[in-house]
Structure 1
Amino acid sequence: MSATRRQVLGGLLTGTGAVGAGIALTGAVTELLTGPAAARLAAGRTGHGPLVPDPAGLLDLPPGFRYRVLSRQGEPMLSGQGPVPGHHDGMAALPGARPGRLWLVRNHENKPDDTPVPVPPVPGLVYDPGATGGCTVLEVARDRAPHGAPPAERVLSERVGLAGTAVNCAGGPTPWGSWLTCEENEDRAGTNGYERDHGFVFEVDPGPGRRTVPEPLTALGRFQHEAVAVDPRTGAVYETEDAFDPPYGLFYRFLPRRPRGGFGSLRAGGELQALRVRGVPDLSAVREPGTVLEHVEWVPVPDPLARRTPVRLQDFGRAGVTRGQKLEGCYWAGNSVYFVSSYARALEGSAADHCGQVWRYDPARRRLTLVVVFGPDTGTDLPGESPDNICLAPGGGLLVCEDGGGAQYVHGLTRHGRVYALARNAQNTGTAERPEYGEFAGVTFAPDGRTMYVNCYEPGTTFAVTGPWRH
Structure 2
Amino acid sequence: MDRRTLLRTTVAGAGGLALPFTAWSAAYAAPAQNATGPYGPLQAADANGIQLPAGFTSTVIARSRQTVPGTTYTWHDAPDGGAVIPNGSGWIYVSNSEVSSSAGGGASRILFDSTGTIVGASRILSGTNQNCAGGKTPWNTWLSCEETDLGRVWETYPLGGTAVARPAMGRFKHEAAAADPVRKVIYLTEDETNGRFYRFVPTTWGDLSSGTLQVLVAGSGTSGSFTWANVPDPDGSPTRTRSQVSGSKSFNGGEGCHYAADTVWFTTKGDNRVWQVNLLTSTYELAYDDNLVSSGTAPLTGVDNVTGSSYGDLYVAEDGGNMEICMITPDDRISVFLRVTGQGSSELCGPAFTPAGNRLYFSSQRGTSGASSGGITYCVTGPFRT
TM range (shorter): 0.7 to 0.9
**Aligned amino acid, residue 67 of structure 2:** P
| Alignment length (residue pairs) | 350
Aligned equivalent of 2:242, options 305, 309, 312: 312
2-side partners of 1:159 and 1:340: how far apart?
30
Aligned equivalent of 2:122, options 148, 156, 159: 159
Counterpart contact for 1:378–1:384, Cα < 8 Å: no
Counterpart contact for 1:131–1:165, Cα < 8 Å: no
The yes-or-no answer on 1:237 pairing with 2:183 is no
The yes-or-no answer on 1:275 pairing with 2:191 is no
2-side partners of 1:131 and 1:270: how far apart?
32
The equivalent of 1:134 in structure 2 is 106
SS at the partner of 1:71?
Answer: strand
The yes-or-no answer on 1:51 pairing with 2:1 is no
**Aligned amino acid, residue 87 of structure 1:** A
The equivalent of 1:325 in structure 2 is 252
The equivalent of 1:467 in structure 2 is 382
**Aligned amino acid, residue 408 of structure 1:** M
- Structure 2 unaligned residues grouped into runs of 5+: 1-23, 30-34, 368-374
1-side partners of 2:273 and 2:264: how far apart?
14
Aligned equivalent of 1:421, options 319, 327, 336: 336
Partner deviation per Cα, 1:421-444 (whole Å, 9 max, x = no partner)? 211112x24xxxxxx242111111
Q: How does 1:100-119 map to 2 (within 5 A)?
A: 101-111=90-100
Q: How does 1:52-451 map to 2 (within 5 A)?
A: 52-77=43-68, 80-81=72-73, 83-96=74-87, 98-99=88-89, 101-111=90-100, 130=102, 132-143=104-115, 153-186=116-149, 199-207=151-159, 210-213=160-163, 215-244=164-193, 248-259=194-205, 261=206, 265-267=207-209, 269-277=210-218, 280-281=219-220, 285-286=221-222, 291=223, 293-294=224-225, 296-314=226-244, 316-317=245-246, 320-344=247-271, 356-375=272-291, 383-405=299-321, 407-426=322-341, 428-429=342-343, 436-451=344-359
The equivalent of 1:120 in structure 2 is none
Partner deviation per Cα, 1:6-32 (whole Å, 9 max, x = no partner)? xxxxxxxxxxxxxxxxxxxxxx94456
Q: CA deviation at 1:376?
A: 6.9
Q: TM-score of the superposition, structure 2-length normalised? A: 0.84
Q: CA deviation at 1:379?
A: 12
1-side partners of 2:345 and 2:53: how far apart?
19
1-side partners of 2:361 and 2:28: how far apart?
20
Larger Rg: 1
2-side partners of 1:311 and 1:55: how far apart?
46
Q: 1:382 to 1:369 in 2, by over 3 A?
A: closer
Partner deviation per Cα, 1:246-283 (whole Å, 9 max, x = no partner)? xx000001111002x1xxx101x011111101xx14xx
Q: CA deviation at 1:381?
A: 8.2
**Considering only aligned residues, what root-mean-square deviation do their CA atoms show, in Å?**
2.4
Q: CA deviation at 1:58?
A: 2.9
**Aligned amino acid, residue 323 of structure 1:** S
Counterpart contact for 2:37–2:336, Cα < 8 Å: no
Q: 1:421 to 1:159 in 2, by over 3 A?
A: same
- Structure 1 unaligned residues grouped into runs of 5+: 1-27, 34-43, 112-128, 144-152, 187-197, 345-355, 430-435
